[in-house]
Amino acid sequence: MNIYEVKTMGERIDGNPYVGRGIVIGKTEDGKKAVSAYFIMGRSENSRNRVFTLKDGAVFTEPYDPSKVEDPSLIIYAALRSYENKLVVTNGDQTDTIYNFIKEGKSFSESLKTREFEPDSPNFTPRISGMITFDKGDFTYQMSILKSIDEVGSDCARYTFDYPSKAGLGHFIHTYVTDGNPIPTFVGEPERVSIPNDIEKFTSDIWSNLNEANKISLYVRYTDLETNEIEEKLINKNGARK
């Protein structure tokens, strides 16, 4: 096993029916842009009834058809927000927890000590989070996963990973290994992935290789490290919100 092996996102997800929700952070091959991506998948009608929307530079999950919403607590949230030189992306309302903590001068890891996995027994879906910190034309990033320590959800295990940015390299963390009942939780370190210069190529590689039946939405952002100019791509399987 080569622990330093780098694969494309397509190679990481192709043929996997259910990786759940996923976060990718990294730097383009030319070293000029910071990259962040977030996607969601779903098996139930409630989970699939979602779209991403953009509001004032933030990304939100919202119901596609509000009349069909069963339980909004775990599916409707701000997925990506920025504050000063930090960009936060998560798979739940811990986005706001991290945002509020860093506004108070506290850290990414401090904020997540106040949170735990989702209360959706028997799956106990992990909370995955990432944060980019821009500084002097470059950036570092952190990723986190909050998981149940056992099969009954008796307590929370918290894992945080800190990375320097390296040209062409990204890290991919997702909630599940694959489909199952209960759904097996992601294990190990975030997976190493290649980050191309072309946002269209990267977006297509993710979207086209996510399972067709279960994929819902994808958001990709490229941030120019010199100019701070943002390129972004948003895809909703359900199309525009009703």
What is the distance, to the nearest Å, from the Cα of residue 58 to the centroid of all Cα atoms in its chain? 14
Burial (CB < 10 A; 0-12, 13-18, 19+), residue 232, is middle
Mean pLDDT of the chain: 95
Amino acid code (one letter) for 86: K
Q: What pLDDT tens digit does each residue of the chain (242 aa) get?
A: 788 999 999 999 999 999 999 999 999 999 999 999 999 999 988 889 999 999 999 999 999 988 888 777 777 899 999 999 999 999 999 999 999 999 999 999 999 999 999 999 999 999 999 999 999 999 999 999 999 999 999 999 999 999 999 999 999 999 999 999 999 999 999 999 999 999 999 999 999 999 999 999 999 999 999 999 999 999 999 986 55
pTM: 0.97
SS3 category, 236: strand
Q: Are 79 and 60 in contact (CB under 8 A)?
A: yes
d(CA 51, CA 62): 5
193-234 pLDDT, tens digit per residue, is: 999 999 999 999 999 999 999 999 999 999 999 999 999 999
Confidence at residue 240, expressed as pLDDT on a 0 to 100 scale = 64
